[in-house]
Structure 1
Amino acid sequence: MVATRARIAVDAMGGDHAPAEIIAGAVRAKAELDAEILLVGDPDQIRSVTPNEHNLAGIEIVPSEGTIEMHEEPISALRRKPKASISVSMDLVKKNKADAVVSAGHSGAAMASALLRLGRLKGIDRPAIGAVFPTVLADKSVLILDVGAIVDCRPKFLEQFAVMGTVYSKYVLGVEEPKVGLLNIGEEPSKGNDAAVQAYQLLEQHPVVPFVGNAEGRDILSGQFDVVVCDGFVGNVLLKFAEAVGESVLQILREELPRGARGKLGTFVLKDNLKRIKQRVDHAEHGGGLLLGVAGIAVISHGSSQAPSIFNAIRLAKEAVDNKVLDRIQAQYRKVAMPAADGE
């Protein structure tokens, strides 16, 4: 059987730079990735910001009406705007007309729409947004979840995040034996608030999660952990701080390296090295975070995403489809997290 190409629905109206930058990223994805692209949004606006109509060749435009603004409460806004671009995008996945959704719009609305239209995986109480961070080890990354879906987490939510993170790290990122940590203010089991202490106990006793203990802030990028779980409040702060650090490092390098004749020569000689540094620390290279725990593939990008980040978000969605991440998580979660329910 010939494998079908991934069909990615892109919310063209969501994000600070929509629709122009979203479309530019989608056009590049159409040209460079083996995937079908569906742009969801106002057809007139989409065409008005695409001077060369030829660029849209081969891209399907799916009409929608309006978008969820950042100041709006997600649930009520989704009810008032049933044909908003994020809702239409999720409906495409629900109706099997698309395999995944990419959106840089209101992250709360994207999560709410995914839950309302796609539902949760069996056994998952709350979804989590998983984001891949670089580490100091050249060929190693760390998966952080949650980075913004659930700001207040019960211990069992953190336990479920750890199960999903373990499965994703092992079967999609290719880590044979993921090391899972719980983000905390100290290494000792008694450290942190009540939720952290209780979550530690659940993870320490878990039969499948390869839990190795608490991870302090300084440990996250050290390469000691493959998966780090935390609540969405802390995770989102961490994500945005890491993005700012990456941008600051790149800006300092741009300003300091070319100083003087030696600096300019060194910059020329180290051009390839600097390009690799940018690829490792620039958040645009990672595209966004995968919403784990819902019965569909959705990638949530940063609201300030521009074309390169959207391209990489589409690439991430395609990889999730091609690697059958949803099927793997469903199958593995049933196997490892609920054996007693089946009497096995």
Structure 2
Amino acid sequence: MTDPSLERHLHAARIRAEALARALAHAGTAVPPRLPAPLAALMAGRGDLAELEAGDLTEEALEWARSSRGDAAWKARLEPLASAAKAKRAARVHLDASRVTARARYAKDGGAIGFGPVELQQLFSEAMRLEGLPLELDLGKRPRPLLSCAPPLPFEAAGDAEWLEVQLKRSAEGDDLLDRINRRLPGGLKLLSWEELPAWATPVAELCETAQWSWPCDEPEAEARIGVFLASESYFLDKPGKVEGQKQEKRVDLRPAVLDMALDAGALRFRTALAVNPALSPLKLLGAILDRAPESIQGLRRLGFSMLEDPRLKQADRYTAKLKNMYEDAVLLGAGSNITLVDEDDDEPLSLG
């Protein structure tokens, strides 16, 4: 007999996959792609390897050839060039002063509410790629854009002011940037703001201290259950996990994760500490407190975050100087320079290189 919970999970996964496919198709057909000329030429069947190399686009070209099931001969020609480009990036990724971190806020609601972090990353990456943004790639076997939606928002939860970060090779700011990206996103998903920071800025997930939530609730018994929870010094939930490396039920104390919780005008409002049990779903948290199945909790919304100041941005001179020194060292070593070191206590100089 099939587990009913597994069937529900698989059904929900199929629905998300179908919705994602429709959303990605919309991204590509909403308006013509706005790509760098060498990539546009490749998509039109007029690719030029020299131009792709000169534009530092061989990795992007290979990914397009793979995802579009393009000419196998083109893929074979691009693979060694893309591999060399990735190796070059790996050696100098932290030395490129033109790289920036784009930190954006977005809202998720309506038709996009069923998308989770993985789907959101795909949707935002595709929209930005089609708008020609210079996305920095990771160093994986099949490089992907360095884009993250964090702190993660669970499936079936809405968000009014969520965070997204993406690494760029260079600035992409422009007056119409948000409009251009938003026209490729599905209904219910919208970028609200865009700020570009140095590449060494602290990841936004590390700056989010607490999250504010709201859930529509008019259940008479909820107030009593909330009172029991708030009066408890500890409140445990048994969930699958690992204890000393072995899979088994793991007891998680929910009480430290909730800073405050109260019913207000037909809504349950509460704050969670993000550093405490960061992987715990708020749906499971509410389910445990209210004694109901997490999947039955509909309408949960994250209103926003309380944020810490970024300590790295206060030390810009330190990070800029460090980057400059690293770059100069790399140039000297990469050039095979003959460097002579003189020890004042030794008559003979020591030559390196």
TM-score (norm 1): 0.22
TM-score (norm 2): 0.21
More helix per residue: 1
Q: Which has the larger radius of gyration?
A: 2
Which has the bigger relative contact order, CA under 8 A and spacing at least 6?
1
More strand per residue: 2
